[in-house]
Amino acid sequence: EDQVTQSPEALRLQEGESSSLNCSYTVSGLRGLFWYRQDPGKGPEFLFTLYSAGEEKEKERLKATLTKKESFLHITAPKPEDSATYLCAVGHNAGNMLTFGGGTRLMVKP
Amino acid sequence: SQTIHQWPATLVQPVGSPLSLECTVEGTSNPNLYWYRQAAGRGLQLLFYSVGIGQISSEVPQNLSASRPQDRQFILSSKKLLLSDSGFYLCAWSRGRRAEAFFGQGTRLTVV
């Protein structure tokens, strides 16, 4: 059974304080690892897809990396507008569904 | 560009009443369509997915059903709502199995 665990559950940062969010996964045949941002009361917003170990993607202050067991979302010099819940999900080769982690709630204080 | 519409945004329904949530996608054809539910403070749980008209797969046995009457329309229904059906319901689409999913803005359902 696919499993996705995100840590920490919540993270408080000062503006400009860089950090990383972790997504550990167990999946039989990874077809993709997906990162989303979700604001309160809204649907998740797609950020990145990573397909193979060693792959990296960047967007503004965010950088996602992937190994065979985990993915990291690095946030460089975060701003208050980066405050949101970040969700990680994996898809496996044999099915159509995505398995989501519980998310990391990021709060960036000015 | 592709867009996904989901309505209503919020809904308060009494126990035992029926439910119909609708989702439509524009700007693409033959999308994979999904219904997810998100409980407070928890991750997303896949309820149903569809790879084509009339093709519905259920991931979790429950009080809900789904239908896909048209290529870009996906409907979530219930004949009699339970208190446990309360939650945040999200519709999503993708181009294929390897592609990322794009989500609607969600429906907050409260069963009272």
Q: Coil, helix or strand for A93?
A: coil
Say what the pLDDT of residue B25 is: 96
Closest partner CB to B100 (pick from A49, A97, A100)? A49
Say what the pLDDT of residue B61 is: 66
Contact B31, B103 (CB under 8 A): no
CB crowding B77-106: b at 16 or more within 10 Å, else e: ebeebeeebbbbbbbbbbeebebbbbbbeb
B58 pLDDT band, cuts 50/70/90, is confident
Task: Count CB atoms within 10 A of the CB of residue A78.
Answer: 22
pLDDT digits (tens, 9 = 90+) for B75-102: 999 999 999 999 999 999 998 766 789 9
pLDDT digits (tens, 9 = 90+) for A4-23: 999 999 999 999 999 999 99
Sign of the alpha-carbon torsion through A33, B23, B20, B58? negative
Taking the CA of residue A68 and the nearest CA in chain B, the distance in Å comes to 18
